[in-house]
A and B are shown apart, each in its own frame.
Chain A
Amino acid sequence: MSAPALVVAAWLLLIGLYGVVTSRHLVHLIVCLSVAQASTYVLLLAVGFREGAKAPIFGDIPASSPVVDPVVQALTLTDIVVQASVSALLLALAIQARKRFGTVDPNRIGELRG
């Protein structure tokens, strides 16, 4: 029953890695990296989901109703904001690479030395 979600997580990881390996522009590479990171979020949430269960917020549902796994959600939500900050750091590195090497093509960065 959970096969579609796991297949999509595996597919996102593979296609994200393919984008990183064959990229020709540093900013394109960083956005493909975010696709690969999204695959881990999908996997974590698919592991925690239970059919017929509700969100783990007990404001308006009785305290004994079945809920999905709250631990993986806590991991995932901090993970998403950390991804934003790490992407910011990588983009700053891309700007510096453009200034130092004169190109944003990862294949050609080794050639032109400043």
Chain B
Amino acid sequence: MSPAARSGLFLVSAAGLAVLLGLALGGLPGFDGPLGDTAKLIATHAVAQRKASNVVIDVAFDYRALDTLGEEFMVFVAAVGAVVLLRTTRDERDEAGSAELEARRPPETSDLLRLLGTVLAPLTVVLGVYVVSHGQLSPGGGFQGGVVVAAAVVVVYVAGQHVAVPRGGPIELTEVVESAGAAGFAIVGVGGLIFAAAFFENFIDPGSQGSLLSGGTIPLANVAVGLEVAGALVLVLVELLDQVIFRRGGGK
């Protein structure tokens, strides 16, 4: 089908979709109605039951932890898929250490970049750990903190003396950390099965509101998801960097 015919067909069906969207969205209640039943129930009882201040994280990691289990496995599988795709390139020669690589190596990074990297990397790690551990008290949680920690790890590799890409040991450690995070979340659920007779039932004492260990199993789940998201993003970024810098050609 030619591009013009495809655009025409799309415009016709988009018009139909717009009409359907208008009809569907027009029937939604506005901003001044009362909250839905589930939301009202959760908003009134969540703090009393779980002593966690952040109700959104409460919903995501406790009341609806099954959905979050599916979503974090989606992150895991997508990262594994991207890494597998980027590693199976048999028709590319590995240039690391060869003379061609020395000639092609990018110039040394500037002093300002290295200074910024030295200052930013530890601060970003601390920020990421803070966001992950305080998920149940203030906005944040495992997903956001994981992205911040991944950014810190990449800053270390990109703002060094030369742009370097880790191989071997650090990569395997990252893979182990990511898998441990993914499995850890499922183990928290199984712990609920063992200790409280329901999958993902919150089986640890909730503590008092406002303290760092409030919310029962929520801090554990936060740490597991934080490790997993950080590991996944670091793996994908390192594979992409490796492809850009060290792999030669490969097309037809």
Chain A stretch 45-67: residues in CB contact (< 8 A) with chain B: 47-51, 55-59, 63-64, 66-67
What B residues does A81 contact at CB under 8 A?
Answer: 71, 75, 143-144, 146-147, 229
**Interface pair B31/A1, CB less than 8 Å apart:** yes
Take A56-B56, A78-B60 as given contacts and tell me if A18 and B10 are in contact as well, using a CB distance cutoff of 8 Å. Answer: yes
**Interface pair A70/B85, CB less than 8 Å apart:** no
Per-residue contact bits, chain A 71-114, to B (CB 8 Å; 1 contact, 0 not): 10111011111101110110111011011101000010000001
What A residues does B161 contact at CB under 8 A?
Answer: none
Chain A residues with a Cβ closer than 8 Å to the other chain, count: 55
Interface SS of A by simple majority:
helix
State in angstroms the CA–CA spacing of A1 and B25 once bound together.
12
Take A77-B56, A78-B143 as given contacts and tell me if A67 and B67 are in contact as well, using a CB distance cutoff of 8 Å. Answer: no
Take A70-B59, A85-B79 as given contacts and tell me if A114 and B143 are in contact as well, using a CB distance cutoff of 8 Å. Answer: no
Question: Which of B32-40, B107-115, B167-175 binds A?
Answer: B32-40
Q: Is B119 an interface residue (CB 8 A)?
A: no
Q: Is A10 an interface residue (CB 8 A)?
A: yes
Residue of B nearest to A80 (CB): B143
Per-residue contact bits, chain B 61-91, to A (CB 8 Å; 1 contact, 0 not): 0001001100110110011011001100100
Per-residue contact bits, chain B 141-154, to A (CB 8 Å; 1 contact, 0 not): 10110110000000
Q: Is B137 an interface residue (CB 8 A)?
A: yes
**Interface pair A70/B39, CB less than 8 Å apart:** yes
**Interface pair A82/B28, CB less than 8 Å apart:** no
Per-residue contact bits, chain A 27-43, to B (CB 8 Å; 1 contact, 0 not): 00000000000000001
What A residues does B233 contact at CB under 8 A?
Answer: 84-85, 88
Residue of B nearest to A114 (CB): B252
State in angstroms the CA–CA spacing of A18 and B144 once bound together.
30
Q: Is B187 an interface residue (CB 8 A)?
A: no
**Interface pair A78/B38, CB less than 8 Å apart:** no
Contact partner, A70, options B42, B48, B239, Cβ 8 Å: B42
**Interface pair A59/B10, CB less than 8 Å apart:** no
Contact partner, A56, options B26, B43, B85, Cβ 8 Å: B43
Q: Is A26 an interface residue (CB 8 A)?
A: no
Residue of A nearest to B232 (CB): A85
Question: Which of B16-24, B93-101, B199-207 binds A?
Answer: B16-24
Could you jot down 22 A-B contacts, CB within 8 Å? A13-B21, A18-B14, A21-B7, A22-B6, A43-B25, A50-B34, A56-B55, A58-B55, A59-B54, A59-B138, A59-B210, A70-B42, A73-B56, A74-B57, A78-B60, A78-B67, A78-B72, A81-B229, A85-B79, A85-B82, A89-B78, A92-B85
Kindly list the 8 A-B residue pairs having the minimum CB-CB distance in the complex, ordered from nearest: A85-B78, A74-B60, A74-B59, A92-B85, A92-B82, A56-B55, A69-B39, A59-B53
Chain B interface (Cβ within 8 Å of chain A)?
3, 6-7, 10, 14, 17-18, 21-22, 25-26, 28, 30-36, 38-39, 42-44, 46-48, 53-60, 64, 67-68, 71-72, 74-75, 78-79, 81-82, 85-86, 89, 137-139, 141, 143-144, 146-147, 209-210, 229, 232-233, 236, 239-240, 243, 250-252
- Known A21-B7, A70-B58, A84-B233; further 16 A-B contacts with Cβ < 8 A: A6-B28, A17-B10, A49-B31, A50-B35, A59-B137, A67-B55, A68-B35, A70-B42, A75-B67, A77-B141, A77-B144, A86-B74, A88-B233, A98-B251, A99-B89, A100-B252
